[in-house]
Amino acid sequence: MATEVETPADRRRHDVKKVRNLRYWVLGWLLLAGVLNYMDRSSVSIAAPHMIEELGLTRTDIGLMGSVFSWTYALCQLPAGYLIDKLGARRMYFVAVGLWSVATALMSVGQNMAHFLGFRFLLGVGESPNSPNSSKITTAWFPREERGQAAGIWDSGSKWGSAIAPPLLTVLSLALGWRAMFLIIGLAGIVLAAAFWAFYRAPEDSKRLSEEEYRHILAGRDDASTPKQHLPWAKFFTYRQTWGMMLGFFTSIWIWNIFITFLPLYLQDSLGISIAGSGWVAAVPYLAAAVAAIYAGRITLQLARGRGLSPIASKKSVLIASCLGLGVLLVLVPLARNVVVAILVLCLALGLVAAIQSQSWALTSDIVPDSHAAQFGGIMNFGGYFGGALAPVVTGVIYDHIGSYTPTFILAGVIAALGAIFYGFLVRNPIAGGAKAEAAA
């Protein structure tokens, strides 16, 4: 075992200064990519009022853009996970960030729905490797017991991005126009892709990783002496754990897609907030979600270390409680007519959505061997977004026909509560010895 640890270190140049806790610097890059990813994804919700006014689009059209993105994103999860495991995280991240940034920039030249749907399709292709890749990199850089907290941090990027997007992009769209807004954030992504390519290396190839930290990482990985079992992606669909993760994740993505596409419009239509004001108000629930994503990871770490729960049990406890609480809160959303009360309920609801998503990603590496983490995460994300893709267009159709979001939130509350059943009864044990910590269970 000593030889296995020392070999990568022997390849590092000793004159390069080592970075303390380098794995957290890597995590910072994943967080930054997640922030920009969701700024790009939520940009249509910011541009929507202007696009409706200038181009004569409807809320159903806006919802359809969200659904086309989600369906494309979902279908591309399967090849994305495979390609990440096959080609490596660094190469796939560079390609993915570059592609989704180009797709965002192209929105600035769109003239009709055909253009916009095509660009949202391209965005779905480009963004599809992001979360599986982050999960893969987390598996490579963090020991198993720290992965729940690490996943909570990188997954919070989707919430920080969604929080930053409304005020920042609203200011850009009002000052420079919605087309310039798309162009600016697209160019920012291209810069990030180049920087990530220059910075990132796997732990085995990093010259700045100390021997002490490398040993700490290795101690929490799957045993390298254990023969690796090949699991074709189609084989995963024969396990109930896979369906439990897909269906459970679907419940949170359904709700997330409603907010990511319609939250500013909901604030304007139902609470009477102005376009300029909605940008700032919409940021508040996403800030709460970002904090919740990180704190959920800390809770699972405390349950594992302080209460002695297994990695799977600690994360399931958070998931089940969050699904049940979210179901209640969503039914209360349309009843809250006061702006302050409505924002408080939305903060709590999006906070629980964030907890579900971050710990679902953390749970993937407890269900399957480390070598299959990206592939399995891609399958989970596929299931979540394939079903959740319907949420934006259903929401748009409901509002265009009856002028209310109330049925949307009641349906979402029922779907959220079902998540507790999916996680509780279908996700119990690892697949093919996925978590060595569960071996005794």
Q: In the chain, where are the structural domains located?
A: 17-203+233-432
Q: Rg for the chain (alpha carbons), in Å?
A: 21
pLDDT at 5 over 60: no
Measure CA 30 to chain center.
Answer: 11
List, in order, residues 6 or more apart from 389 with CB less than 8 Å away.
66, 67, 69, 70, 71, 73, 74, 257
Mean pLDDT computed over 193-202: 89
d(CA 197, CA 195) in angstroms, rounded, equals: 5
Mean pLDDT of 420-428: 94
Global model pTM greater than 0.75: no
C-alpha distance from residue 271 to each of 60, 266, 301, 342, 429 (Å): 20, 7, 39, 9, 45
Q: Which residue has the higher pLDDT, 137 or 14?
A: 137
Task: Give the angle subtended at the CA of 7 by the CAs of 6 and 13, to the nearest 5°.
Answer: 90
Q: How confident is the model at residue 252 (pLDDT cuts 50, 70, 90)?
A: very high
pLDDT at 11: 47
Give the lowest-confidence range in 140-154, 305-319, 347-361. 140-154
- Is the domain spanning 17-203+233-432 CATH 3.20.20.120? The answer is no
Angle at 363 between CA 161 and CA 314, to 5 degrees: 105
Is the Cα dihedral 86, 430, 326, 421 positive or negative?
A: positive
